[in-house]
Structure 1
Amino acid sequence: MFLLSSLSGCVKTEETFHYVKLSQVACSFDGDGNTPLAITVETSPAAYEITPGDTWVKAEKSEEDNTLILTVADNDTGAERSTVIIVTAGSASREITVQQLTRDNRNARYRKLDTFSSMGGAMSPSGKYVGGFSEQVDENNMWYFTPIIIDTETGEKHEFGPYPQSLYALSEANAITDQGLLFISDGQNGGQIAIDLTGNIFIPEAAGYTNKPEVSQTSSDGKYWVGYIQAGMFKPLLWTEGTVAELPMPALNYRNEEFWAGVLARGISANGEIIYGTSWENDDCGMLYWKNNGTTVEEPRWVGDDIRRLTPVIVEDWMGEHEYNLVDGCICTAEITKVSPSGKWIATTYRKEEVGSDGFIAYVQRPAFYNTETETTTVVEDYGEATGMHVTDDGIAFIGIGTMFITEGKVYDLNTGTDLGNMADWVAENYGIIIPGGVIEYISADGRYIFGTSVNALGGGFDDWYIAPPLQ
């Protein structure tokens, strides 16, 4: 079953403001074996009517009237079919488009992860597992957390706990391995917990350090983990079969000055050959990468160093008049899925800087994609202010429109310089299913697994989702 994000229909009269708000306005069902779909309904006036579509779809109100339950019959027609259900409240109405595939259309499954915390989840490098956690609060305002690991091949769900916040105050699911080991940040005690498919928990450590490290991402075989630790400055770390070592740092920071905050390793290609990270000094967040040949790690290079430019200027701010290095270069924040599975491509954002007429630094940002084999950068100008989100080994790029709180995505072919439309249309064309608008954050090397995020039905946050092959 596949969903499209919520919309509202509204009409203002002299007496009241009529509206219909639905948690989904389009959905798709498999040809058979479907479970009912619940759609949240909020209307003014509160009473609403349902105009049914074709007889193969049943639309019924819940006892509380705030939920619409859609149930579909198996599709024996041999062809895809669709219908429209209309919800009317006063003079306002909204349509729900319902699509059903044929029995033999088993290209892919779409699943929302709306039981996960608002901080979202993670997909393993090959797509075999997704992981996250749910959270509950009791009558005493005590929070409890339940780690969740889902096998995307079988649909089996592993849940552990719940654990009270006094033990683990889970705050963000960072990474999960293809072996089912899930890393979640612990806001109570610092560092992370790592939990496996049996529920066994351990605390990742970095020998020789006092503070606790954080693991950001892993290779597909689980041999390599990357992350960071705060030891004075932030230090980028690489674990090789459990043995940790610091990754080499550049001689100077993003602005060609002495480091004062450090570098964090953020992601690694599924094959373990390319690691990337970011400096974290105010808003500099310069993106850099390392090549890992299995026995040694090369010195880091700035992503996009072929188009990187430094311009010394004199600026005047709260510190008075002083020298400053403007940088036209590639940046990255905390994203962990910027590199393609083989490490051939890195998705990034190319930021140009200049001193504005008001004396402040002005930025122009464009999505960019760095080829680690040719060591050249492709800057995409087609979408204005935008961000490189992810990229496949064959050069299909996923671009987020905007630079913060991104809700819309585009697909772009780096080989031909061609716009391939928005991400939802691209998925419909290539996978034959409807998904919410939103952004794709990761695609497995074989293209069968996709991880993404969309604005949730209430508009107050994001829900993760995944696409996977039919259940085995």
Structure 2
Amino acid sequence: MKKHVFASAALLLPLFGGLVGCTQPGQDEVQYIKVSMASCSFRGVDAEPLRIEVSTSPAAWNAEPSATWIRIVEKTDNALLLTVDDNMSAAERTGEVTITAGQAEQSIKIIQVTDHTLQSTYNTTGEFTMGAVISPNARYVGGYTCIYDTEAGNWVNQVVIIDIRNDKKYMLDPFPDTLYPLYDPCAITDSGNVFFHCEDGKIVMFSLSGDVTVLDNIPGAGKPWLSQVASDESGVWVGFCLGGETLYSPVKWTDGVPEILQKPETTYRGYGWYQGCMARGCSLDGTVIYGTAWEGLDSGLMWWDAEGNVRWVGDELHKIKPVQIFDQQTQTYYDTNLVDGIKGNSTPYSISPSGQWIAGTYQTEELSENKTEIIYTACPAFYDTDNDQTYTFPEYSGAACLGATDDGIGIIGMDGAGGIVSSTVLIDIATGVQISESTDWIYENMGIIIPDYSLLEYISPDGQVAFGYDLNGTGGEMMRKWYVAPKPQN
């Protein structure tokens, strides 16, 4: 178990204050310093050394700590190994290590918390194949690894389940992917049962003891697909199946018994259903469920209440606008419906634990002046299911809502409406006031610095665990997940 608090590991780039460089008069060579961590934090006592990658031009460089309690354990051509003395005071302390190379200079901020402060740990699942999932109450994280066996000539999968409370890792017996061709993890329960989508369309569940269950087909429909699970006490799972009245049908399981949920009367665009819709996530007790349409490119956001009644999220903003668009190829007009409304995504974390808040994106559509194209605008939107009220935030144009807590803190993904989130910020939904960047919020509330490129998806019901992903994993891996949790109790 790692004892140091993970440090921020953002790559420092030119023009953004992270790559420090200069050109000396009369020389063509640009002098620079790049470090893998611009700031880092250590535990108050028993902090293990922390390695920081260093790249410079010129190649020769020096490092100097600003305080005696910061110690350089080792220095190589391309790395620095740092540690700190125990902090026995009741106050946090800060310092820095200054790196120089020629005329270039770069500082690394060092923060050491006191041993009296609540400690958190940062972990990534970079070794997992296709990411990881976290249980509703943030008890377990689960995923799998896939390694090619050259002697056998096939891929070997191994399911991995981590108990966040004590950092215990369960490595289940490996098996050839011809047995269960795992694709990605889709959900994990608070008792450690983890579900996977398989490339052959099956859903397979693994328990901590290694028992394997393949979900049955839905009666009257076909193969099931699981999206999320509620608390163990509720016994609720949600997802969808192939078939039924449409190509896809939303499904709720209660103690393993499936029920196909009703769809809105018409599609998001006001037409008859063909492809259908899917349940994506649910409240902790399983009484409130949300899902998305899948008709063409429409992903209209819907929700089901405790009685199973279905509505479009923020339906007071849902407007269908018949128009005629001019087809330049045929030189004729054709009828279609434009829509203003709230759309969702396929993630299972867009609802607060109680089900009060559902996160989405408010999108409007307008016909261009020459009537040949559609102009789209989008901004974050949170829907209050308790009070039937929608909050939109046009000042965050192009962003999307990702999740929320029961006390009304919303997670917004900047640039998320375009599909790729650049950063995540937290806001007070009721007032619209931005609280902070998510990494700052984690530091202020959990006492730990994490990489700036960490994107927040989920905050546990008790507010003690944060879960998300980053786009700068080892080798540029896109699916690396991370979590911040209280220091494991051994």
- After TM superposition, the score normalised by the length of structure 1 is 0.90
Match of 2:468?
452
Tell me the amino acid that sits aligned with residue 143 of structure 2: G
1:220 is displaced (CA, Å) by 1.2
Tell me the alpha carbon deviations over residues 403-422 of structure 1, each in whole angstroms, 9 at most, x when there is no partner.
22113111111223322121
Q: Which of 164, 189, 204 pairs up with 2:215?
A: 204
Q: How does 1:398-437 map to 2 (within 5 A)?
A: 398-402=411-415, 403=417, 404-437=419-452
Match for residue 255 of structure 1? 269
Question: What is the CA distance between 1:44 and its match in structure 2?
Answer: 4.7
**What is the one-letter code of the residue matched to 2:160?**
I
Structure 1 residue matching 2:210: 3-state secondary structure: coil
Q: Matches of residues 187-226 of structure 1 in structure 2 within 5 Å?
A: 187=199, 189-208=200-219, 211-221=222-232, 223-226=235-238
- 1:307 aligns with 317
Alignment RMSD: 2.5
- Deviation string 1:53-83 (CA, Å, 9 cap, x unpaired) is 43333334577x5543333332223321122
Kindly indicate whether residue 381 of structure 2 is the aligned counterpart of residue 364 of structure 1. no
1:3 to 3, 7, 13: 7
Q: Does 1:277 align with 2:291?
A: yes
Conserved 8 A contact 1:5-1:456: no
Q: Distance in 1 between matches of 2:86 and 2:59?
A: 33
Unmatched runs of 5 consecutive residues or more in structure 1 = none
Match of 1:125 in 2: 136
Match of 2:259 in 1: 245
1:59 aligns with 2:72: yes
Q: Which amino acid aligns with 2:35?
A: L
- In structure 2, do the counterparts of structure 1 residues 196 and 83 end up closer, same or farther at CA, with 3 Å as the change threshold? same
Aligned 8 A contact 2:359 2:381 in 1: yes
- Structure 1 stretch displaced more, 48-57 or 400-409: 48-57
Distance 1:282 1:182, change over 3 A: same
Q: Distance in 2 between matches of 1:53 and 1:462?
A: 37
- Cα separation, 2, equivalents of 1:80 and 1:31: 8
Q: Work out the CA distance in 1 between the residues paired with 2:173 and 2:51.
A: 27
Q: Which digits, 9 at most, give the CA deviation of each residue in 1:297-327, with x for residues without a partner? A: 4231000101111110011347863211111
Deviates more, 1:129-138 or 1:97-106: 129-138
- Residues 204 and 53 (structure 1 numbering): CA distance in 2 closer, same or farther, change over 3 Å? farther
Question: In structure 2, which of residues 175, 181, 185 is the aligned counterpart of residue 173 of structure 1?
Answer: 185
Inter-partner Cα distance in structure 1 for 2:173 and 2:369: 57
CA distance in 2, matches of 1:47, 1:186: 51
Counterpart CA distance in 2 for 1:417 and 1:350 is 15
Q: CA deviation at 1:46?
A: 5.1
Distance 1:200 1:238 in 2: 23
> What residue number does 2:91 align with?
79
Separation in 1, partners of 2:184, 2:336: 36
Question: For the Cα contact (< 8 Å) 1:396–1:413, is it kept in 2?
Answer: yes
- Residue-by-residue CA offset, 1:154-176 (whole Å, 9 max, x unaligned): 11111224444333443322111
Residue 148 of structure 1 aligns with which residue? 160
State the 1:235 CA deviation. Answer: 1.1
> Does the residue aligned with 2:278 lie in a helix, a strand or coil?
strand
CA gap 1:62/1:207 in 2 versus in 1, 3 angstroms? farther
Higher mean C-alpha deviation, range 29-38 or range 219-228: 29-38
| Equivalent position amino acid for 2:11 in 1 | L
Cα distance change, pair 145–28 in 1 and its aligned pair in 2 (3 A): farther
CA contact (8 A) 1:10 1:17 kept: no
Q: Distance in 1 between matches of 2:102 and 2:198?
A: 49
1:121 positional shift:
1.5
| Aligned residue number for residue 16 of structure 2 | none
1:442, distance to aligned residue in structure 2 (A): 1.2
- State the identity %: 37
Counterpart secondary structure, 2:441: helix
Whether the aligned pair in 1 keeps the contact of 2:118 and 2:446 (CA below 8 Å) is no
Gap regions ≥5 residues in structure 2: 13-18
Query: In structure 1, how many angstroms separate the alpha carbons of the residues matched to 2:477 and 2:64?
Result: 29
SS of residue in 2 equivalent to 1:425 = helix
**8 A Cα contact 1:150 1:158, kept in partner:** yes
Q: Tell me whether 400-409 or 317-326 shows the greater mean CA deviation.
A: 317-326
For residues 397-443 of structure 1, what are the alpha-carbon distances to aligned partners after superposition, in whole Å with 9 as ceiling and x for unaligned? 11111122113111111223322121122222233322233432111
